[in-house]
Amino acid sequence: MRLNQCYNFQDFRKLAKQRLPGPIFNYIDGGADDETTYRRNTEAFEECDLLPSVLTGVEDIDLSVTVMGQKLDMPVYCSPTALQRLFHHQGERATAGAAEKYGTMFGVSSLGTVSLEEIAQQTSTPQVYQFYFHKDRGLNRAMMERAKAAGVQVMMLTVDSITGGNRERDLRTGFSIPFRLTLAGLIQFAIKPMWGLHYVFHEKFSLPQLDAHINMGSSTSSIGDYFTNMLDPTMNWDDVAEMVKFWDGQFCLKGIMTVEDAKRAVDIGCTGIVISNHGGRQLDGARSSFDQLAEIVDAVGDKIDVLFDSGIQRGTHVLKALSLGAKAVGIGRMYLYPLAAAGQPGVERALGLMQQELIRDMRLMGCKSISELSRKNLRFR
């Protein structure tokens, strides 16, 4: 299978599985516990039907939206994800370049493998910094100051990851950073030698946002240790309110799933929230993001920008989320599979296909602009 034979989410997933060692593919592909929430995230869209209008004159389609002060050419953005140079040696450089080509927003993670500063110099696309809250308050402030100095437009605090989810696929393969693979995991690396060659002969793996604070080359330090030992499970609304005040700009909470929490985000001065269950990778059995979207939009949609992620695989999924009131939709695996399969050309193909789907589907819906989408376009079974 080749990149030009990929036309949808499942095609990119298949190609990534062909090219990645099993432990790394399963790190992207897996969810928590029994992966119930992971599956439900996409299944939820199947219970909602689109209701198109006809004869509306839809030759020209405007996909642009404005989210947290950022003008995007399409209502889909690349959510911040960790460890991208493990999946492909270009890592965040490839994703940022593709996002810029399609005029959309891109996020860098605290566990990103390319520095904020390099991405800011490389691209002009709006940049989000996905932030984890550490026990060391001085470290939190230093990292925010660094992000502000780099020109980051949006601070996005992840609030559903004070501890890591139970990702049993990773336990079975021994996936960790640094690698501590089981025999089965080692065999998977041996039968996918091209990945290993790229890993060895390109720049050394690192986490530039955290290199000064955590030694990932140590045999005693790992990503799991980072979540367990450095992140602060006592984080509360007062802590976040101080961060919002210190940042003094566009500030978004990622991982909101209840009306009550959405209202608190408004009260402390956030400008955005992301309705998200972390792609089913944290609390298994949690409700799907799509199932929670309408009631949260009804409660706070006129006071704060409501974004959405988890489970998106098609342009029609995006249109359903936008029709319920989301301002924009984040994708994760949908660009990580093509990144792993082919680097920047892969991400560009995925975003290009999404753009084509959205334009075609908007015409079929009888809508010329995103603002014309509404709940009148939907029926639930």
Question: Are the CB atoms for 43 and 186 separated by under 8 Å?
Answer: no
Which residues are paired to 78 by β-bridges? 106, 331
Question: What does the alpha-carbon distance between residue 378 and residue 362 come to, in Å, rounded to a whole number?
Answer: 14
DSSP one-letter code for 216: T
Verify cis geometry, omega within 30 degrees of 0, for the bond prior to 178.
yes
**Angle of CA points 3, 314, 26, to nearest 5°:** 60
Question: Are the CB atoms for 12 and 28 separated by under 8 Å?
Answer: no
- Residue 278 annotated to the active site: yes
As a 3-state breakdown, the chain gives helix, strand, coil percent values, each rounded to 5, of: 50, 15, 40
Question: What does the alpha-carbon distance between residue 248 and residue 235 come to, in Å, rounded to a whole number?
Answer: 19
Q: Which of 88, 89, 134, 278 is catalytic?
A: 278
Beta strands in the chain (DSSP E): 48-50, 65-67, 70-72, 76-78, 106-109, 127-131, 154-158, 250-256, 272-275, 305-309, 328-331, 378-380
Going 309 to 311 to 314 to 320, the CA torsion angle's sign is negative
Q: What is residue 192's three-state secondary structure?
A: coil
Cα–Cα distance list, 101 to 111, 203, 243 (Å):
24, 25, 32
By annotation, the residues acting in catalysis are 278
